Amino acid sequence: MSSCVAYVMDYKLAKECSRIPNLKDRVLENIMKADLVDNLIKAYGLCKYMKISAAEPASYDDLTSFHSSCYIDFLREVNESDDLENVEEEEADFGLGYDCPIFENIYNFASWIGGGSLTAANILINEEAKIAINWCGGWHHAQRDEARGFCYINDIVIAIQKLREKFDKVLYIDLDIHHGDGVENAFSFSRKVMTVSLHKYEVGFYPCTGSLCDVGFGNGKYFSVNVPLQDGITDDRYFCLFERVLSLVMNAFAADAVVVQCGADSISGDPIGTFNLTPKGMGKCVERILSYKLPTLFLGGGGYNITNTAKCWTYLTSVILRKKLPTDIPDHLYFTRYGPDFDLEIDAGLRRDLNTIPEIENIIKVIAQNLSNLI
């Protein structure tokens, strides 16, 4: 059955990396997360409604379409090195170490990360589908010449640059609890890419950027939109804010395509995140984005309760496909990971919502003022 939705699977990412000895926890966790998502989507029988595409690895030229050649050359050097200790003195120059440790095969890992979203972008460019999904993508913190915040390659920037070969203006929407700083920085001087990030903004909360007055620079002034939030925001208040902000954005920016980062660390119960959203709440934002009827690329991102992340992205896949799913988790390879409730739904927690109505009204007022400069 032909479908307007394409689903990119990074098969080789998991295979390529699962053989790597002493792979760092965070990287391993991301591979496990991808495997959980793939298996849950398959278990719900959603693949029959999508065109399944295997990710192609990004080439050196693809990676250096955004990242500096000295950064990518260093990743290649590490990849070929048989003694990781002898590259340690340089790693700090490229943000490697701590949150982004180096490991064997790091270049191959990077090319698969970049390749998944690039494959999805090409599917939209070639009109093989109207919507493309890559839950393995969404690494929004990586900068031109350094890894940051568990992100080695900014697959989102690489994909947006590729989309702009056909679509003049691209709207980027970031729903991860963390500010999408790497994508915003890449396009902060551009009028052709509008970045909209809804995120927690609090002293000491990574990456500590994305304030309301952060609007872009030069020619790109007012083409960066930031929605700074506090702990505990709920579905209703988040969607009300999302709807009003995106209405202002769509009125000021005639997008030809949309890219959405759906970081699941915004969902209640995440060990790092402190919002109180549920997949249904994020799903209402996805439905609003689908109503624009534009070529759209959906990507993953953060999410550190990996079974909740798998539930969230499986639910969002069903929203994109307009298929209603039974809430009982179907039997499959990882069924036992979903106990004790074995339920697809994630309930909101009891966390208090620290976002007040006056603060939300002020956010809307300031964003409206800023975007009025573009009309």
Give catalytic residue positions: 141
Tell me which of Zn ion, ligand NHB, none is bound by residue 116, counting a contact when its beta carbon lies within the kind-specific cut-off of 5 to 8 angstroms: none
d(CA 183, CA 317): 23
| Residues of this chain that bind ligand NHB (CB under 6 A) | 99, 141, 149-150, 176, 178, 206, 263, 265, 271-272, 301-302
Binding segment for Zn ion among 153-161, 177-185, 197-205, 318-326 (CB under 5 A)? 177-185
Q: Omega into 207 within 30° of 0, i.e. cis?
A: yes
Tell me which of Zn ion, ligand NHB, none is bound by residue 115, counting a contact when its beta carbon lies within the kind-specific cut-off of 5 to 8 angstroms: none
State the virtual CA torsion across 99, 102, 104, 108 in degrees, nearest 10.
Answer: 80
Residues contacting 185, CB < 8 A, separation 6+: 143
Give the single-character DSSP code of 193. Answer: E
In the bound state with ligand NHB, the residue whose beta carbon lies nearer, of 21 and 271, is 271
237 is written with which tokens? 């208040």
In the bound state with ligand NHB, the residue whose beta carbon lies nearer, of 194 and 262, is 262
Task: Report in angstroms how near the CB of residue 175 gets to ligand NHB at its nearest.
Answer: 10
DSSP labels, 138-175: --TT-BTTB-BTTBSS-HHHHHHHHHTTT-S-EEEEE-
- Annotated binding-site residue numbers: 99, 149, 176, 178, 265, 304
Please, which of residues 249-268 interact with Zn ion by CB under 5 A?
263, 265
In the bound state with ligand NHB, the residue whose beta carbon lies nearer, of 220 and 263, is 263
- Annotated binding-site residue numbers for a divalent metal cation: 176, 178, 265
d(CA 187, CA 203): 25
Q: Which residue's beta carbon is nearest to the bound ligand NHB? A: 302
In the bound state with Zn ion, the residue whose beta carbon lies nearer, of 114 and 263, is 263
What is the distance, to the nearest Å, from the Cα of residue 358 to the centroid of all Cα atoms in its chain? 29
- Residues in touch with Zn ion (CB under 5 A): 176, 178, 263, 265, 302
